[in-house]
Amino acid sequence: MKSLTAACEGFAATECLIVESDSTDDTVANAVDAASRNGWRFETLGALRDRMPERTARLAHCRNHLRDLIESDYAHVDYVVLADLDGVNLGVERAAIESAWSRSEPWSVMTANQEDGYYDIWALRHPNWCPGDCWADYHAMRSLIGKEAARDFAVHSRQISLSPRLPPVECDSAFGGLAIYTRDAALAGRYVGLTTDGNEVCEHVSFHAGLRRKGHKIYINPKLVNRTQEEHRSRTKFAKLTQRISRIFTWSRLNLWEIIYFSEQTRCANPNRDRPAHLTWSFCFL
């Protein structure tokens, strides 16, 4: 919270919307207290687990609730920033947030990067880097080469490092725990966390597919750096070697190559983009 607040000090004003479900600790009490002290908005969706046992279904439900609130209650805003509160955004810097408005690409979505290896492969769709569901690839290979090798093949080998000096990488889907959306883009899709057969899928992929169908462009912004959660770190020797190699090739090429924020507009340094002056934060606890 503090790091995200500090990262947005360049904006004229902020609002905050907090949405929670299924907490069994002090999350609700802490959120109510924080909302009361800071003038934020807090909503709890209660216990969803009994009727939505799959985590991705609950995530999709909560994110759609946030999306619908943007549409109904925040018609005045221009940009939306979605951020996870699982620690991945500790230490996010103001320059990282504001870097989106220094880019020349015609973006509708700018998503986060991690210097120690891009972690969010399940949410990623890129024609060369990760064209499909990484966990579907894992299950397809597990019986052939074993669990650890299949995980290296499907997930860890794709957790490459993107230097902040690189240009934005256009994707069909990406998240990385933090993403900045134009308001139009934030309303262009809906989240789906299950297949028709009831299998879990990453809810961001369906949402971003809706955006892409309406012409919105999605990028990973290498300058928008947050951190990798420990649970997502690659632990095998193969994965660590892959990440070291990716760093070498990234730097060689250089020598030749989420909370939700809503905003009103002011002008930024890049005359082709508008920069948000008024922000509203939305948090989703699961």
Q: Per-residue pLDDT tens for 180-207?
A: 999 999 999 999 999 999 999 999 999 9
Q: From 120, 110, 130, select the one nearest 222 (Cα to Cα).
A: 110
Tell me the CA distances in angstroms from 77 to 9, 241, 269, one per residue in order: 18, 44, 20
Question: Which range has the worst mean pLDDT, 49-53, 110-114, 265-269?
Answer: 265-269
Q: From 261, 267, 263, 259, select the one nearest 276 (Cα to Cα).
A: 263
For 110, counting Cβ atoms within 10 Å of its Cβ (0-12 exposed, 13-18 middle, 19+ buried), the class is buried
CA distance 187 to 69: 10
Cα three-residue angle 118-224-32, rounded to 5 degrees: 100
Contact 102, 269 (CB under 8 A): yes
* pLDDT tier at 224, thresholds 50, 70, 90: very high
For the domain spanning 2-285, the CATH number is 3.90.550
Q: What is the mean pLDDT of the chain?
A: 83
| Mean pLDDT (whole number) for 81-86 | 85
pTM: 0.83
Contact 60, 203 (CB under 8 A): yes
Contact 219, 105 (CB under 8 A): yes
